[in-house]
Amino acid sequence: MLCLFNKAYVQIFYNLEIFMNVLVTGSNGFVGSALIEHVAGIRKYQVIAAYRSLSMGSTGNAATLAIGDLGSLADITTSLRAVDVVVHTAGLAHVFNTSRNFLDELHNINVNGTVNLARQAAVAGVRRFIFISSVKVNGNETQPGRPYSELSPIAPVDPYGRSKFEAEEKLRQLADETGMEIVIIRPPLVYGLGVKGNFRRLLHLVDLGIPLPLGGVRNQRSLIALDNLVDFIITCISHPAAANQTFLVSDGEDLSTPELLQCLGKAMNKPVRLISLPVNVIEFSALLVRRKKEVKMLCGNLQVNIARAREMLGWTPPVTIAEGLRRTVA
């Protein structure tokens, strides 16, 4: 009975019209821009879009704030005093670059910049800091039928994953020191309108209609539609049970690479021609053309378990994979 009462109390609290100022970093980025568009339409939130400089973008219903370069963030504590929640989507994206200059910049932006912003937020009295991390904190591949969960070991295998984990650790320390609530979200690959990188290249291959040697791949991968990630972030802005928690999120439906290609073809109204080759042949060919990492993502497993998000926050992905892919290619 006590458990049911607590859940009912949390739901009542969550539904209250509590007006909050929400600052979003990375406002001209893939996730940040979509988040601002959605949050700006919610009556109980006033959105503040943070840009490196005000010349880099503008938003219709949101206030704007210039914060400079994240790696050398100026003191914006005064501007943060009116902010209730910070959603930190900005950061240096993962690219296949191992030069010393890039690694230094990666650490400076993803770790030092994140912690500097969070520390200023805590001093300013910001109540909650939401950090968009990555499933790469757990690793790049799961064993069949053994998805990552929030209890899985930490095992980043590349500099990007390590930078996200280090930022997470420092944020938790800051939460212990200051009392500011921290929410950490680890999404897998995010797709949606404006997607770039490997997913966009996959779209291009389907559009070309060329035969693809992936028909024999029998993997399972978790993805998350941009609209689903945005919906989950919005849930975490005010849900009391999200405080000081880490969440893995996805669409709740896993696909093999051939299934994903077929779904893309259907969304694009394009025939998908798949040829079945042994995976070891594909991987060996990838070595010859120096595409091992890209092929690993197409042939390997990477699944996440979103039970905590469902049970603790009562969250269900509002958009199916089929609908998310349709919106992506529309």
Beta strands in the chain (DSSP E): 20-25, 45-51, 63-66, 85-88, 128-132, 181-186, 189-191, 221-225, 245-248, 254-255
Phi, psi at residue 63, to the nearest 5°?
A: -75, 165
Q: What is the pLDDT of residue 102?
A: 85
Average pLDDT, integer, range 124-145: 96
pLDDT score of 217 more than 50: yes
Tens of pLDDT, residue by residue over 281-302, are 666 665 555 566 776 778 889 9
- Residue 2 has a pLDDT of 40
Report the chain's C-alpha Rg in angstroms.
20
User: Is 160 known to be catalytic?
Assistant: yes
Q: Which of the following is catalytic: 45, 51, 148, 160? A: 160
CA-based nearest residue to 257, from 295, 219, 302:
219
Give the per-residue pLDDT at 299: 82
The stretch 37-43 carries a mean pLDDT of 91
pLDDT in tens, 154-182: 999 999 999 999 999 999 999 999 999 99
Residue 304 burial class via C-beta count within 10 angstroms: exposed 0-12, middle 13-18, buried 19 and up? buried
- CB 112: neighbour CB atoms within 10 A? 18
Decide if pLDDT at 219 tops 90.
yes
DSSP strand pairing (45-51 vs 128-132): unpaired
Per-residue burial over 204-220, b = 16 or more CB atoms within 10 Å of its CB, e = otherwise: eebeeeeebbbebbebb
pLDDT band at 267 (very low <50, low <70, confident <90, very high): very high
So what's the pLDDT on residue 285?
Answer: 64
Burial of 133 (0-12, 13-18, 19+ CB in 10 A): buried
